[in-house]
Chain A
Amino acid sequence: EVQLVESGGDFVEPGGSLRLSCATSGFTFDDYAMHWVRQAPGKGLEWVSGIGWNVDNIDYADSVRGRFTISRDNDENFLYLQMDSLRAEDTALYFCAKDSGRYTYGYSAFDLWGRGTMVSVSS
Chain B
Amino acid sequence: DIQMTQSPSSLSASVGHRVTITCRASQDIANYLAWYQQKPGKVPKLLIYDASTLQSGVPSRFSGSGSGTDFTLTISNLQPEDVATYYCHKYNSAPLTFGGGTKVEIK
The chain A residues found within 8 Å of chain B, CB to CB, are 35, 37, 44-47, 50, 57, 59-62, 95, 100, 106-111, 113-116
Known A-B contacts A47-B96, A47-B97; A95 and B43 likewise in contact (beta carbons under 8 Å): yes
Whether A45 and B92, one on each chain, are in contact in the complex, defined by CB atoms closer than 8 angstroms, is no
Chain B: residues with Cβ within 8 Å of the partner, total of: 25
Q: Complex: how many Å from CA A28 to CA B23? A: 33
Q: What are the 3 A-B residue pairs with the smallest beta carbon separation, nearest first? A: A59-B94, A109-B34, A109-B49
Supposing A62-B1, A106-B92, A106-B93 touch, asked if A113 and B55 sit within 8 A by C-beta, the answer is: no
Q: Which residue of A lies closest to B43 (CB)?
A: A113
Kindly report which residue of chain A lies nearest to residue B49, judged by CB atoms.
A109
Partner of A109, one of B91, B94, B100, B101: B91
- How many residue pairs between the two chains, A and B, have CB atoms under 8 Å in the bound complex? 66
B residues contacting A by CB (< 8 A) are: 1, 34, 36, 38, 43-46, 49-50, 55, 85, 87, 89, 91-101
- Can you name the residue of chain A whose Cβ is closest to the Cβ of B55? A111
